[in-house]
Structure 1
Amino acid sequence: MPDLTAQQVKEPKGNAFKAWLLKLVPVKPEEWGLVLSLALLLAINSTVLELSDVVATSGFVSNAGPTQLPWLWLLDMIITLVLTGAYTLIVDRVARIRLVAILIAIVAVLYLVILVMFRLGAPDWFNYLLLYILTDQQWIIFPLAFWALANDIYTMAQTKRLFPVIGAGYAIGSLMGNLLAVGSAVFLTQRGISSSSLLVVGVMMFMVGLVVLWLTFRKRVVRARQSREEEVNIREMFQVGVDFFQNVPLFRWLAIVILLAQLSLTIIRYHFLFTIDQTFISDLQFQAFYGGYNAAFIIVTLLFQGLVTSRILSTMKLKDTFFALPATLLVAVGSAVFIAGMVGASAGAFLAWVTERVWDEPVRKSVQGLVPDERRGRVSAFLD
């Protein structure tokens, strides 16, 4: 009987499918369990975050007016600086898993407090202001703790391959949150119910998130060095971050780029929200459009993050990956300036946000893996 050559031996269908799946999504079979759990945590957080952000933004702009947005953002930034400073005091001294659990529990309680304020008849503009500030702190601080935990789990090589896939959980949750905002706008309008009732959904989902966190890490040990300093003061904590940026050129220039990019994104966002407010009359109309717009944004984000970003990043040098966002912002600003009305404002904001989310964010999270474990939380807080 003649010998069969290697080319004549057919590969089993199961192995062929696994090879195709690994080529499509660069996750090894033994990595899927933890990757999916981390992606689910991101999805839960982003579902609540996006739903609350749409409700808070549409509610505040409709009740207080778009001209009050700069004051809201100024107040929000002051609170962000204070809370980020407080976060840096504990981030490298508390186990990452415990820190993430504490953050989830605190945010859930605060959502419940704001819901009670709506029920007690506090001014709507004030309630939406508080909700906006809460969602913004959730958007800033939770990812800091989450990605610090993820960097403790994976090596630098794994982060470039797996972080875009894990980040797809954020995209999925964001899509769910925005679709829920759109659907609820129609439902609540028909029944005359306040959008504040959606806060109950957020509280319940965070309870689910705590369960997921416990099930994921109850038998898993995360080994990472923690700060052993006995005395803590905020000046020393800030000095750690400042010294790191002064002595590491990569992070110093990266911080400058991020500062300028975020300034551009803020201007683009204000122009976009101002244009929406001039176009739609009621806050629920605002909510429906804003949620639908965000849903389209998330679909594009999901496709790129899950199928494109990780492949391109793995073939590029790290220093070359930071040029995409500044170049895109130039195009986005040009679109908003030279194309009048909703088309120019929407297109410019869409392009800028997609690039920031699907490309720049995974790049920034990956480069944080270069920071020593005991300093990573504080340095990432400064960087973000």
Structure 2
Amino acid sequence: MNVEEGIKKLIQKTFDIRKGEFKIAFLLQASIFLIIATLLIVKPIVNALFINRFGVESLPQAYVVLAVIAILISTVYSVTLKRLKLITVILRTLTISAIALIAFGVLLYFQFNVGWVIYLFYIWTSIFAVLSASQFWILANVVFNVREAKRIFSFIGIGAISGGILGGYLTSIIVSFVGTEPLLFIAAFLLILCIPINLMIWKKSASKYNLFKRKKRISIISDNPVKSILKSKLLTYLAAILGMSVLVAKLVEYQFSDIASSYITNPEDLAQFFAFWSSNFNLISLIVQLLVTRWVVGNYGVGKSLLILPLGIAFGAIITFTFPELWAVVILKALDGSLKQSVNKSAVELLGLPIPFEIKKRTKTFIDVVVDSVATGIAGFILIFIINGLDLGAEVVSLAIFILSGVWIWLVSKVRKEYLNSFQLLNRSKKEEKATLKLNKSKTVFDSFQKIVSSNKIPQILFLLEQLKHTPDPRFQKHLIPLIHHEDKVVAAKAIKILRYYKEPIIETQAIHELLKSEDEHIRVEAFIYLLKFANDGKQFLIEKYLNNTDEYISSSALLALVENSKSSFTIRNLSLIQTKLAKKTEVIENTKDEDLRQFLQIITIKIRALLQQNEDLETLELYFTHENPIVVKQAIVSAAFTLHERFINPFIDLLGNKIYRNEAKNALSQYGFLMIDELGKKIRTNEIPQNSLHFIPSVLELFENQKAVNELFKLLDHEDLAVRLESIRSLNKIHSNFPTLNIRKRDVVDKINTECKIYLQTLNMMHTQVLVSFHKKDKKALPNISLEESRKSLMKLLESRMESHLERIFGLLGLTYPPEEMSKAYEAIQSEHADMRIYAIEYLDNLLEGNLKRLLIPIVEISILDSISEEILHDLDLKVMGEYECFKLILNQNDTKLKLAVIFLIGQLKDPRYKALLKDLLLDKNLKIRDYANNALMQLES
């Protein structure tokens, strides 16, 4: 083994980087190294130039301007990410940034309009810092999934720290020799180097994912992050603490800049000072992270660890207040810079443990961008008030830092209680949850965790295990060991899965081998993956031993485990072995007479093919959609959805029409992420969705629970299919009940209600016409096949059904402007057989509704409870009694296929030549069935 291979093996073992991941991880590390190095070259320079040109007293206004621009840019950036490929956005950002640096360097060198250039340069640098880091981590999250990220990001993060150290020291060393402008060209060159590196990352890894997979992994600001934050006390306090840390950091930055600039007046010397200490702070942060963080967080817990940063800053603020000198403010800045990215960061990550992962994902970008920007703006306003408004000195800023640190400490005390409560609540029954919480302060979070595990409450244990999957803290490790033998198989499998996320093995080898004999497939799979991870040089022996096991259940589970463990880095040898074994499993499926074994092997091979995702595997998965065994079909749907492949979209839509697989098909389509909303909308508008599936599209859109889904559902309110309109209203009501802050324009809803009311009254008039005609022609003799009377009754029944549907849609629309639960109860009361309930509902609506809605709706509701309709009622409603010809003409001009067919059939029975013109117009209708019915009816009229 040469030195290079030895180093590579050491890195792989230290950071748990697996085969096939090293090159991509190294490229990502190089990319973030160059980005942060660029930032640490540019930031000290622009800070020094800004302070030298405008004075430190202009920083507060710049903070406010920066906050506003940052929010606007982030909003535009989120929209851009939805519309363009991620790599396109990254390359354009890097190219524009490199050009901007060169432009700023040239303009500053020739002293062109220096004031505006420096101000723009300062704002641009801050925006670049947010965008460049953000898009890098977005790309990293596209390349690696959540579990891979937990293993690899610590290795990639070394690149960021190294870039911070090198960039600052480089600037501090050479700025005095070459000046500031040449350093900007060096920074631009570093950014240009990022372009081919990012292209290589994309081609080697990210490009293999289809559009749906890439977009799903991109974290953007969700539609309703504020509500998600406010619904959780813990998340609210967490956001407040993070906001407070940014606010205090900005005041510390101002204080640091103010005192430093009073001692160092030369801009190049000031840039050198800022760069030197920025690198020092990064170096101190790295040392604290490696040597102190784990010990502090491990021994003192989350609550006390979170206190270290604000207490340290408060201490530094007292020193700076007492001694407003350079050495004092360096200590203050060092405490903020070194502790924030080490002890505090680890404690904050652990603090999020009780918060469901999906909620954290939904709110993370909002907290990172909006909360950060708002805090920066508030810091600017505080400084404007202190410096410009009250005309006070820098000492008062130290006092403000001390006071805000006190508020920060208070927030930590509140969040600590809420953190422990979150764990204790998991161990309470529903009855206990309603009681007032009494926190036992002597208990730690680990005591609470142990109590939940001992309680044997499966839902709570599974929730905790799910959280640990995303944050596998070593201190929980010993509590997980008993769970691998838990009576609940899901708990046992999850516990084994989490234990393999740790760097060192903790389960005895013999115990794992015993677990491989478990009757549960998931336990066998997780146990084998655990063995593979910690087998080191004995991996190939284990693979051959278990893949060749005579027990099909054990060998098949081992095969699935091998594929799952190797999915990011298939070697040619392993891939060939897997395909050979898969072919043999297929032979067993075809030949075995054991139905249980056949079903088991079909499910295993389906899961394996979904992981392999070769063309033949995808084709086989699709074939399973028509399998005779519903259990096998459902597994095929779930596994196909995992691939997020475009080829499965149409089959999933088709499966919506099958009641047995409808729920699985809905969930499968929802897995594709927000892009599926546009995809379904496009297919609806181009009539690509089968009729038996069309009615269930609104319930699919409902699952997305975002503004985009609301907008698409609102478009469906104009769909020609009445059932689609009704289902869209139902879905909108469900989303509105769960997410009332999503935007639904009341004016648009009222317009829809008006339309539905007009159609209802029109249908009522048609119904009355048919009743009158039926009454006058009652004495007519029956036709040979189907009587005219029966044909008319069929039409009347359909009209009555349409009126009921219109009424339900009206109340559904009312639920979008008034409380949906109340409108649902009112509709149920209107439909009730009890007269007093119907009267009560009318009274309730009479008091609730206002203006035009009241004048329009109350008469309709009153009519809906009557047994018959008279001409007097039509007259009161300003409805003109129409003849049968006018009635038929009106129906045939509507977009209601069933009503049209009923009328055409009735016309054929009437054999009245007056209707020939109406039928001839339908011979060119786009609907084949209507054309056929019209042609048959014409033949009846002419016979």
Match status 1:102 vs 2:92: yes
Q: Residues 152, 374 of structure 1: CA spacing in aligned structure 2 closer, same or farther, 3 A cutoff?
A: farther
Shift of 1:119: 4.3
Distance in 2, Cα, partners of 1:306 & 1:149? 26
Match status 1:370 vs 2:357: yes
After TM superposition, the structure 1 stretch with the greater mean CA deviation from structure 2, 106-115 or 255-264, is 106-115
Whether contact under 8 Å (1:91, 1:99) holds in the other structure is yes
Q: Residues 37, 130 of structure 1: CA spacing in aligned structure 2 closer, same or farther, 3 A cutoff?
A: same
Give the corresponding residue for 1:381: 369
Distance in 2, Cα, partners of 1:150 & 1:310? 25
Match for residue 27 of structure 1 among 16, 25, 31: 16
Question: Amino acid of the residue matched to residue 205 of structure 1?
Answer: L
Q: Residues 287, 211 of structure 1: CA spacing in aligned structure 2 closer, same or farther, 3 A cutoff?
A: same
Match for residue 114 of structure 2 among 124, 141, 154: 124
Distance in 1, Cα, partners of 2:215 & 2:234? 24
Give the corresponding residue for 2:241: 257
Distance in 1, Cα, partners of 2:31 & 2:151? 19
Whether contact under 8 Å (2:284, 2:338) holds in the other structure is yes
Give the corresponding residue for 1:294: 278
CA RMSD of aligned residues (A): 3.8
Give the corresponding residue for 1:206: 191
Distance in 2, Cα, partners of 1:114 & 1:143? 21
Give the corresponding residue for 1:268: 252
Question: Amino acid of the residue matched to residue 198 of structure 1?
Answer: L
Shift of 1:197: 2.6
Match status 1:43 vs 2:33: yes
Give the corresponding residue for 1:241: 225
Distance in 1, Cα, partners of 2:302 & 2:202? 31
Give the corresponding residue for 2:105: 115
**Structure 2: which 5+ residue stretches go unaligned?**
373-943
Shift of 1:44: 0.6
Give the corresponding residue for 1:140: 130
After TM superposition, the structure 1 stretch with the greater mean CA deviation from structure 2, 78-87 or 29-38, is 29-38
Distance in 2, Cα, partners of 1:85 & 1:69? 24
Q: Residues 203, 304 of structure 1: CA spacing in aligned structure 2 closer, same or farther, 3 A cutoff?
A: same
Shift of 1:339: 3.9
Q: Residues 155, 319 of structure 1: CA spacing in aligned structure 2 closer, same or farther, 3 A cutoff?
A: farther
Q: Residues 89, 254 of structure 1: CA spacing in aligned structure 2 closer, same or farther, 3 A cutoff?
A: farther
Give the corresponding residue for 1:10: none
After TM superposition, the structure 1 stretch with the greater mean CA deviation from structure 2, 96-105 or 250-259, is 96-105
Shift of 1:27: 3.2
Q: Residues 373, 34 of structure 1: CA spacing in aligned structure 2 closer, same or farther, 3 A cutoff?
A: farther
Whether contact under 8 Å (1:88, 1:378) holds in the other structure is no
Distance in 2, Cα, partners of 1:200 & 1:247? 48
Aligned with 1:286: secondary structure?
Answer: helix
Shift of 1:49: 0.8
Give the corresponding residue for 1:6: none
Question: Amino acid of the residue matched to residue 199 of structure 2?
Answer: W
Whether contact under 8 Å (2:221, 2:362) holds in the other structure is no
Whether contact under 8 Å (1:108, 1:203) holds in the other structure is yes
Q: Residues 165, 303 of structure 1: CA spacing in aligned structure 2 closer, same or farther, 3 A cutoff?
A: farther
Matched ranges for 1:163-174 at <5 A: 163-174=153-164
Distance in 2, Cα, partners of 1:184 & 1:65? 24
Q: Residues 18, 373 of structure 1: CA spacing in aligned structure 2 closer, same or farther, 3 A cutoff?
A: same
Shift of 1:279: 0.7
Shift of 1:282: 0.9
Matched ranges for 1:351-370 at <5 A: 351-360=335-344, 370=357
**Identity within the alignment, %:** 16
After TM superposition, the structure 1 stretch with the greater mean CA deviation from structure 2, 40-49 or 176-185, is 176-185
Match for residue 66 of structure 1 among 56, 63, 66: 56
Whether contact under 8 Å (1:245, 1:251) holds in the other structure is yes
Distance in 2, Cα, partners of 1:83 & 1:142? 13
Q: Residues 159, 312 of structure 1: CA spacing in aligned structure 2 closer, same or farther, 3 A cutoff?
A: farther
Distance in 2, Cα, partners of 1:181 & 1:216? 29
Whether contact under 8 Å (1:271, 1:345) holds in the other structure is yes
Distance in 2, Cα, partners of 1:209 & 1:314? 38
Deviations 1:287-336 (A, max 9, x none): 22222111211222334456765898799988887555434433333343
Give the corresponding residue for 2:661: none
Aligned with 2:265: secondary structure?
Answer: coil
* Larger RCO (CA under 8 A, 6+ residues apart): 1
Q: Residues 22, 36 of structure 1: CA spacing in aligned structure 2 closer, same or farther, 3 A cutoff?
A: closer
Distance in 2, Cα, partners of 1:330 & 1:42? 32
Distance in 2, Cα, partners of 1:101 & 1:245? 33
Aligned with 1:281: secondary structure?
Answer: coil
Distance in 2, Cα, partners of 1:213 & 1:15? 25
Whether contact under 8 Å (2:29, 2:158) holds in the other structure is yes
Distance in 2, Cα, partners of 1:56 & 1:44? 18
After TM superposition, the structure 1 stretch with the greater mean CA deviation from structure 2, 53-62 or 303-312, is 303-312
Whether contact under 8 Å (2:24, 2:201) holds in the other structure is yes
Shift of 1:362: 6.6
Q: Residues 96, 354 of structure 1: CA spacing in aligned structure 2 closer, same or farther, 3 A cutoff?
A: farther
After TM superposition, the structure 1 stretch with the greater mean CA deviation from structure 2, 104-113 or 267-276, is 104-113
How many residues in Structure 1 have an aligned counterpart in Structure 2? 359
**Structure 1: which 5+ residue stretches go unaligned?**
1-12, 189-193, 228-235
Distance in 1, Cα, partners of 2:346 & 2:120? 29
Whether contact under 8 Å (1:38, 1:166) holds in the other structure is yes
Distance in 2, Cα, partners of 1:263 & 1:26? 34
Question: Amino acid of the residue matched to residue 133 of structure 1?
Answer: I
Shift of 1:48: 1.1
Q: Residues 127, 45 of structure 1: CA spacing in aligned structure 2 closer, same or farther, 3 A cutoff?
A: same
After TM superposition, the structure 1 stretch with the greater mean CA deviation from structure 2, 211-220 or 329-338, is 329-338
Q: Residues 316, 154 of structure 1: CA spacing in aligned structure 2 closer, same or farther, 3 A cutoff?
A: farther
Question: Amino acid of the residue matched to residue 342 of structure 2?
Answer: V
Distance in 2, Cα, partners of 1:315 & 1:104? 43
Deviations 1:55-109 (A, max 9, x none): 1011111222111111222222221121122122233554444433332222122
Aligned with 2:16: secondary structure?
Answer: coil
Whether contact under 8 Å (2:282, 2:337) holds in the other structure is no
Question: Amino acid of the residue matched to residue 277 of structure 1?
Answer: S
Shift of 1:370: 2.9
Distance in 1, Cα, partners of 2:5 & 2:44? 44
Larger radius of gyration: 2
Aligned with 1:226: secondary structure?
Answer: helix
Distance in 2, Cα, partners of 1:205 & 1:18? 25
